[in-house]
Chains A and B, each alone.
Chain A
């Protein structure tokens, strides 16, 4: 196979670039990050004929000025990596603005092929584009495509390869002519650049001259560091001043105007529009969806539907996953001999990781719902309708996307949410969004909610999730307002957002989107969580009880056993300790529905097991009947003995847990957390949640399964909690609110540090969230106690 060809995919947001990328690469794609930054980088390969084509999806941008990080990334890739060809994805139904980017790409001198995408939408709107004529006017191949229906893909690839193999395209590709005055100044700058004789990485001096005249800070820096700038910058200064004098506008404005002039000239020749006053379907839909009265109502309804979909549709799968992990736990418990290793595998790893991974289907459904909102274009309408509200609280309409991704609809993640703020150019609004995003209901908090809501508020799950969403939004807004009027006071910045036409998303696009995000979640659970689960398991296992203390419990058990055996009533069945052990094993196997391996032929065992199933009153009654043997009293005695033994065992384990590092920490925190009703076990779980919120469930699971006397009993954690003394709906709700608001997880803190660029703001985020959580939990706990709500 001959040499690999590198194709960069450029284009405006909403031009169908992602759909085209998916159509080109199919499943052979890989998602990563652009080096040094957190902007997503998608790459894929496609085999076309005997060629292997490597496709790099550049971030969607409206322009290539250094306005946003995305624009700098896209531009730098074209400049530095010099792809063999740039495929410019253009929305045919929105040609004029889309061609602005094309004109800039042409100016850079990169080999271009234009994909005239969504040509069907344009035709539907009676926009007739003569692609041959457009191709002649711009001097580049123009191929009509439809990413959804995979139309034009083959030809696009043919042309891209052709273009990549054309030695020099500079002679054929058209560039904008800016008129005599500007061109004269550009020529002067170019001359200075030429005389500097340092070619900059194959960049055309024409393009550099344009960028310098526009006062582009990035390019100015590059030129200064390589050429040294002598003479060049003096000329740039002069030229800028000259143009400003003539046009009464800075050069960047004059040049932008000229580019649009060039575009409209081209469109006059290549495009013909019939009946432009026709109302499009998208506009009719918006008559309802963003209507003053109906809009907000529909918004609430849609959010409600998202919850119903997420929770109800995923329910069987979540149950299935939990059963699977329980089965794994049981299996491991049987295969691995009793001891530290079994404890590590069952209590540490399977319970910890499984407790979280079990919720994967729920998270995936939520991501699917978010992807639908994004891909249909409704997300932008949400921002449109809510900007006024957000701004009132010191945020921004674009904060909406970040907050939604962070969990505005429960199930996001603060990490990509905070990364999404990179599209915001307003420093203060951006920082506030970063600081409040962790208060949202991210996917990691969902397992905690699902556990507690399922256990204590099972009958109103969807309504409860709405309530929690409203609480977290209220907290985000209040916190935003307070931060913006104290530590980050200042006026609000502009809000410019495209409202793309509504589109039917492609199933493939939705699935890829959902899969990528879900996979990120699984990876996080599989790596960080595994490590954290093991550390936490160690924290809750060591140090072990001193031998004397442990012996005291063993002695108590031994005493119980000998007292039981000394009872003459039981001697019929139990002659020795060995009999007790056999019977315990026998009854355990029966309870688990297995065929007993010991004592199966022993009729008294069967009889005794039968008798134990009856309630105690029934047992004493049946003993009065003469035809019955003495099994009734034996059963009563055994039941009492077993209960005492269990209690002793439980006491021992609880003592042991309190003795460990985690237990001691939890006990130490009791003084602080007593006012909000948390005991040391909850405190240990919250300490674990500092690492990652889902660990709260994992730790509760570990804590309660360690304290569980019969680890084989397949009883879910929720049911266990409901039976625990001290747990009631109020306690569950207080814990939910606390988990929602307190300290962001480690991954989020790392991103906050990276994005805010300061430890000060990171520490601020930790401090304010935890104080807020404590205050709100205190209000809920004392309010609930005072009103006697949810105490039983």
Chain B
């Protein structure tokens, strides 16, 4: 599993500068396998996207589960706050989560 984000990505997400992400303890939501879950640490990306995701419930500490990937492996179906939502993988890679519960895999 890819460790993420790199220092370079931290530069893309000013909110992350100097935070734990850069120590490598966070992974991208897009790296979870179907059935795995984790808790949200940070949403990166442009301000509009960040706000939209927050409004849709992607607040820090919220549990998110990957249900499945679409037939062509993209987009991804998630469950967050009890409802189902779909995002593209590259958007999901802007959402950083704490190490998932390995037992759930």
> Which of A94, A387, A425 touches B88 (beta carbons < 8 Å)?
A387
Interface assignment of A233: CB less than 8 Å from any CB of chain B = no
Q: How far apart sit A65 and B57, CA to CA, in the bound complex (Å)?
A: 15
Residues of chain B with a CB closer than 8 A to A425's CB:
48
Least CB separation from B49: chain A residue: A494
Instruction: Mark contacts of A383-419 with chain B using CB atoms, 8 A cut-off: 1 yes-contact digit, 0 otherwise.
Output: 1110111010000010000000000000000000000
Instruction: Mark contacts of A240-263 with chain B using CB atoms, 8 A cut-off: 1 yes-contact digit, 0 otherwise.
Output: 000000001110110011001100
Instruction: Mark contacts of B28-68 with chain A using CB atoms, 8 A cut-off: 1 yes-contact digit, 0 otherwise.
Output: 00000000000000000101111111111101101000011
Residues of chain B with a CB closer than 8 A to A495's CB:
75, 86-88, 91
Interface assignment of B11: CB less than 8 Å from any CB of chain A = no
Contact, CB under 8 Å: B57 / A388: no
* Interface size grouping (class) on chain A: 35 or more
Given A256-B55, A260-B57, A290-B77, check contact A384 B88 (CB 8 Å): no
22 contacts across the A-B interface (CB closer than 8 A): A65-B55, A67-B48, A94-B82, A96-B57, A97-B56, A248-B19, A253-B54, A256-B51, A256-B55, A260-B62, A291-B71, A292-B71, A293-B71, A296-B71, A383-B86, A387-B74, A387-B75, A494-B52, A494-B87, A496-B85, A496-B91, A499-B84
Interface assignment of A338: CB less than 8 Å from any CB of chain B = no
Interface assignment of B81: CB less than 8 Å from any CB of chain A = yes
Contact, CB under 8 Å: A494 / B88: yes
Interface assignment of B1: CB less than 8 Å from any CB of chain A = no
> Which of A256, A296, A388 touches B74 (beta carbons < 8 Å)?
A388
Residues of chain B with a CB closer than 8 A to A383's CB:
86
> Which of B71, B72, B81 touches A97 (beta carbons < 8 Å)?
B81
The CB with the most chain B CB atoms within 10 A, among A248, A388, A498, is that of A388
Instruction: Mark contacts of A45-64 with chain B using CB atoms, 8 A cut-off: 1 yes-contact digit, 0 otherwise.
Output: 00000000000000000110
Interface assignment of A100: CB less than 8 Å from any CB of chain B = yes
| Least Cβ–Cβ distance between A653 and chain B, in angstroms | 57
> Which of B47, B50, B57, B91 touches A100 (beta carbons < 8 Å)?
B57
Contact, CB under 8 Å: A253 / B51: yes
| Least Cβ–Cβ distance between A563 and chain B, in angstroms | 76
The CB with the most chain B CB atoms within 10 A, among A95, A257, A425, A497, is that of A497
Residues of chain A with a CB closer than 8 A to B51's CB:
65, 67, 252-253, 256
Residues of chain B with a CB closer than 8 A to A497's CB:
85-86
Residues of chain A with a CB closer than 8 A to B77's CB:
286, 290, 384, 499
Interface assignment of A295: CB less than 8 Å from any CB of chain B = yes
Interface assignment of B2: CB less than 8 Å from any CB of chain A = no
* Interface size grouping (class) on chain B: 35 or more
Q: How far apart sit A425 and B49, CA to CA, in the bound complex (Å)?
A: 11
Q: How far apart sit A496 and B51, CA to CA, in the bound complex (Å)?
A: 12
Instruction: Name the interface residues of A457-508: CB closer than 8 Å to any CB of B.
Output: 494-501
Residues of chain A with a CB closer than 8 A to B102's CB:
none
Given A256-B51, A290-B77, check contact A496 B56 (CB 8 Å): yes
Contact, CB under 8 Å: A260 / B86: no
The CB with the most chain B CB atoms within 10 A, among A260, A380, A391, is that of A260
Contact, CB under 8 Å: B57 / A257: no
Contact, CB under 8 Å: B52 / A67: yes
Contact, CB under 8 Å: A494 / B70: no
The 5 A-B pairs at the shortest CB distance, nearest first, are namely A388-B72, A499-B84, A256-B54, A96-B81, A63-B55
Least CB separation from A282: chain B residue: B84
| Least Cβ–Cβ distance between A120 and chain B, in angstroms | 16
Least CB separation from A253: chain B residue: B54
A-binding residues in B (CB < 8 A): 15, 19, 45, 47-57, 59-60, 62, 67-68, 70-75, 77, 81-88, 91
Least CB separation from B87: chain A residue: A496
| Least Cβ–Cβ distance between B18 and chain A, in angstroms | 9
Q: How far apart sit A253 and B67, CA to CA, in the bound complex (Å)?
A: 26
Residues of chain A with a CB closer than 8 A to B75's CB:
384, 387-388, 397, 495
Given A100-B57, A495-B75, check contact A253 B49 (CB 8 Å): no
Q: Apart from A62-B55, A383-B86, A498-B83, list 7 A-B contacts with CB within 8 A.
A: A65-B55, A94-B83, A261-B59, A292-B71, A296-B71, A494-B52, A496-B53
Q: How far apart sit A380 and B81, CA to CA, in the bound complex (Å)?
A: 19
Q: How far apart sit A295 and B87, CA to CA, in the bound complex (Å)?
A: 18
Q: How far apart sit A385 and B73, CA to CA, in the bound complex (Å)?
A: 9
Residues of chain B with a CB closer than 8 A to A62's CB:
55-56
Least CB separation from A12: chain B residue: B83
Q: How far apart sit A362 and B68, CA to CA, in the bound complex (Å)?
A: 37
Q: How far apart sit A189 and B48, CA to CA, in the bound complex (Å)?
A: 24
Least CB separation from B84: chain A residue: A499
Least CB separation from B14: chain A residue: A248
Contact, CB under 8 Å: A253 / B50: yes
| Least Cβ–Cβ distance between B11 and chain A, in angstroms | 15
Q: How far apart sit A248 and B44, CA to CA, in the bound complex (Å)?
A: 13
Residues of chain B with a CB closer than 8 A to A63's CB:
55
Contact, CB under 8 Å: B68 / A290: yes
Given A96-B82, A384-B77, A387-B75, check contact A257 B88 (CB 8 Å): no
Q: How far apart sit A62 and B80, CA to CA, in the bound complex (Å)?
A: 15
Q: How far apart sit A253 and B15, CA to CA, in the bound complex (Å)?
A: 11
Residues of chain B with a CB closer than 8 A to A389's CB:
72
Given A384-B86, A494-B49, check contact A100 B55 (CB 8 Å): yes
Residues of chain B with a CB closer than 8 A to A283's CB:
67
| Least Cβ–Cβ distance between B93 and chain A, in angstroms | 12
Q: How far apart sit A121 and B84, CA to CA, in the bound complex (Å)?
A: 15
Contact, CB under 8 Å: A496 / B68: no
Instruction: Mark contacts of A657-676 with chain B using CB atoms, 8 A cut-off: 1 yes-contact digit, 0 otherwise.
Output: 00000000000000000000
Least CB separation from A388: chain B residue: B72
Instruction: Mark contacts of A672-683 with chain B using CB atoms, 8 A cut-off: 1 yes-contact digit, 0 otherwise.
Output: 000000000000
Residues of chain A with a CB closer than 8 A to B54's CB:
253, 256-257, 260
Q: How far apart sit A397 and B75, CA to CA, in the bound complex (Å)?
A: 9
Q: How far apart sit A391 and B72, CA to CA, in the bound complex (Å)?
A: 12
Residues of chain A with a CB closer than 8 A to B48's CB:
67, 425
Residues of chain A with a CB closer than 8 A to B62's CB:
260
Q: How far apart sit A168 and B15, CA to CA, in the bound complex (Å)?
A: 41
Q: How far apart sit A496 and B75, CA to CA, in the bound complex (Å)?
A: 10
> Which of B50, B55, B70, B83 touches A290 (beta carbons < 8 Å)?
B70
Contact, CB under 8 Å: A257 / B52: no
Q: How far apart sit A252 and B73, CA to CA, in the bound complex (Å)?
A: 33
Residues of chain B with a CB closer than 8 A to A397's CB:
75, 86, 88
Least CB separation from A63: chain B residue: B55
| Least Cβ–Cβ distance between A744 and chain B, in angstroms | 30
Residues of chain A with a CB closer than 8 A to B74's CB:
387-388
Given A495-B91, A499-B77, check contact A385 B71 (CB 8 Å): yes
Given A253-B54, A385-B70, check contact A494 B83 (CB 8 Å): no
Least CB separation from A391: chain B residue: B88
Contact, CB under 8 Å: B70 / A388: yes
Contact, CB under 8 Å: B83 / A496: no
Contact, CB under 8 Å: A388 / B73: yes
| Least Cβ–Cβ distance between B78 and chain A, in angstroms | 9
Residues of chain B with a CB closer than 8 A to A499's CB:
77, 84-86
Residues of chain B with a CB closer than 8 A to A292's CB:
71
Instruction: Mark contacts of A251-295 with chain B using CB atoms, 8 A cut-off: 1 yes-contact digit, 0 otherwise.
Output: 011001100110000000000000000000001001000111101
Q: How far apart sit A385 and B49, CA to CA, in the bound complex (Å)?
A: 22
| Least Cβ–Cβ distance between A179 and chain B, in angstroms | 15
Least CB separation from A247: chain B residue: B15
Least CB separation from A14: chain B residue: B83
Contact, CB under 8 Å: B88 / A498: no
Instruction: Mark contacts of A69-98 with chain B using CB atoms, 8 A cut-off: 1 yes-contact digit, 0 otherwise.
Output: 000000000000000000000000111110
| Least Cβ–Cβ distance between B79 and chain A, in angstroms | 9
Q: How far apart sit A495 and B78, CA to CA, in the bound complex (Å)?
A: 13
Residues of chain A with a CB closer than 8 A to B50's CB:
253
Contact, CB under 8 Å: B88 / A97: no
| Least Cβ–Cβ distance between A339 and chain B, in angstroms | 64
Residues of chain A with a CB closer than 8 A to B84's CB:
498-501
